Structure 1
Amino acid sequence: MQKDSIEIIVIEDEEDLLELLEYHLSKEGYTVTGFLSTENVEQFLEEETPSLMLVDRNLPGMEGSEFIAYLRAIGYDIPVIFLTAKDQESELEEGFNAGGDDYICKPFNPRELTLRIKALLKRAGVLQKQERIKYKMLTMDLVHKKLFVNDELISLTNLEFNLLHTFLKNIDKPLTRDFLRQEAWGQEGEGVNDNAVNVAINRLKNKIDPQNDQNYFHPVWGVGYKFH
């Protein structure tokens, strides 16, 4: 599961603030769906499974904490952060009692909000799922930088690990050698020629699929490589 598959719902009636939140969260790699009121949110939840909700307290129609209390009552347990100008102790308590997991008072720093989101996703066990990527026979442990092929530990260099991680984040997309240099080699990539990229990919292929049973790597004429 990639980070960009973590979906966040934002319910905020101030359009400018909603757009700003959507911008910052998208920049962090989340998929964001915004609503200006609670209308249509329940219908959306019947079809999608977001990982977190940001909910303004002062909403038209149904107040934010009332809406969350309602969702909790009908069985939704999605983590919720309230966005609120209501910072009195009793009002904050009201939000927690309604089923909120955290709150952030307006005006707030977008960086603080993204850190709170990350912390709540970790507590909810969502981010832990991002620590491993599984694809076909491959399992990448991103925390310990280990690769398993059919549960067998395969020794990769740092570069090979970064290269494979880049391909796994972009399955079925044609990737240029320039992009691979930038992602896998970083700053050192400037001095790496096309031939060195080809050699690194061949070495990686021989480690993860020596018999070419899976046929992972596909050259794309005039572009680079695609991982399938």
Structure 2
Amino acid sequence: MQNENIEIVVIEDEEDILELIEYHLGKEGYSVTGFLSTENVEQFLEEENPSLIISDRNLPGMEGSKFVTYLRELGYDIPVIFLTAKDKDSDLEEGFAAGGDDYIYKPFSPKELVLRVNALLKRSGMLQKQERIKYKHLTMDLVKKVLTIDGEPVTLTNLEFKLLHTFMKHIDQALTRDFLRDEVWGTEGTEVNDNAVNVAINRLKNKIDPNNEQNYFHPVWGVGYNFH
């Protein structure tokens, strides 16, 4: 799915509502990580690069808008949607003043939630162009054309970078060699035989997983390769 590399953090203390949000955003293709309070969210943000936070206002421990104010003071500029039963004008002003980008009142329709998430991600540019893709230990910076594995840079040729990018856009999908030729080699792909595709994949595998610990690449007999 086109949204599978966009990560959304949801902070909601009511477990049934959290599960509902996770289900509908997951159905839309987003990667969702849920928290029942603000505890551990800051640590998660230090390690990951989510594109959006959906936060309830009434949370145990630190109130949602205060937590977002705190994140803004730390320098995080991740878009935030507040999800709340607080519907007074003063509450609305307070939420936006704290650094919120949108507001959804409870009870809400899942469809409205998805539409607002899509709209905010479009406005922030995430749905048009992703700057980074993360999967397991791999992080691809699509602007700088740099791959890091657990934070350490790994040198790839342009072709290897395109090849890995293609696989990371299609996790767990069997990709044919013809598809890879079109995506990676383009117009020159007609001159690339199956063996050349295999060799390129093996070279890439030896650079990103030399000891085969992650076992990323799986040949699919009669088709091509699966990456997971």
TM-score (norm 2): 0.66
Q: Aligned partner of 2:97: which letter? A: N
Alignment correspondent of 1:192: none
Q: Distance in 1 between matches of 2:41 and 2:97?
A: 21
Alignment correspondent of 1:38: 38
Bigger radius of gyration, 1 or 2? 1
Coordinate RMSD, CA, aligned: 3.6
Q: How far did residue 74 of structure 1 move?
A: 1.1
Match of 2:191 among 193, 211, 216: 211
Number of residues of Structure 1 aligned to a counterpart in Structure 2: 176
Q: 1:168 to 1:58 in 2, by over 3 A?
A: closer
Q: How far did residue 212 of structure 1 move?
A: 1.0
Q: Aligned partner of 2:65: which letter? A: S
Map 1:81-160 → 2, pairs under 5 A: 81-129=81-129
Q: 1:211 to 1:128 in 2, by over 3 A?
A: same
Instruction: Say if 2:45 is the partner of 1:65.
Output: no
Q: Distance in 2 between matches of 1:91 and 1:202?
A: 52
Q: Distance in 1 between matches of 2:44 and 2:181?
A: 46
Q: Aligned partner of 1:211: which letter? A: E
SS in structure 1 at match of 2:103: strand
SS in structure 1 at match of 2:118: helix
Q: Distance in 2 between matches of 1:3 and 1:202?
A: 21
Answer yes or no: is the 8 Å Cα contact 1:12–1:35 preserved in 2: yes
Q: How far did residue 210 of structure 1 move?
A: 2.4
Q: Distance in 2 between matches of 1:40 and 1:171?
A: 28
Answer yes or no: is the 8 Å Cα contact 1:174–1:223 preserved in 2: no
Q: 1:221 to 1:2 in 2, by over 3 A?
A: closer
Q: Distance in 2 between matches of 1:26 and 1:10?
A: 12
Q: Aligned partner of 1:226: which letter? A: Y
User: What runs of 5+ residues in structure 1 fail to find an aligned partner?
Assistant: 137-149, 151-165, 181-197
Q: Aligned partner of 1:36: which letter? A: L
Q: Distance in 2 between matches of 1:53 and 1:14?
A: 16
Give CA deviations for 1:88-118 in whole Å, capped at 9, x if unaligned: 1110000000000001000101111111011
Alignment correspondent of 2:26: 26
Q: Distance in 2 between matches of 1:168 and 1:41?
A: 26
SS in structure 2 at match of 1:49: coil
Answer yes or no: is the 8 Å Cα contact 1:209–1:215 preserved in 2: no
Q: 1:110 to 1:221 in 2, by over 3 A?
A: closer
Answer yes or no: is the 8 Å Cα contact 2:54–2:80 preserved in 1: yes
Alignment correspondent of 2:223: 224
Q: 1:221 to 1:5 in 2, by over 3 A?
A: closer
Give CA deviations for 1:17-62 in whole Å, capped at 9, x if unaligned: 1111111111111110000000011111110110000000000011
Q: 1:98 to 1:172 in 2, by over 3 A?
A: closer
Q: How far did residue 222 of structure 1 move?
A: 4.3
Over the matched positions of the two proteins, sequence identity in percent amounts to: 63
TM-score (norm 1): 0.66
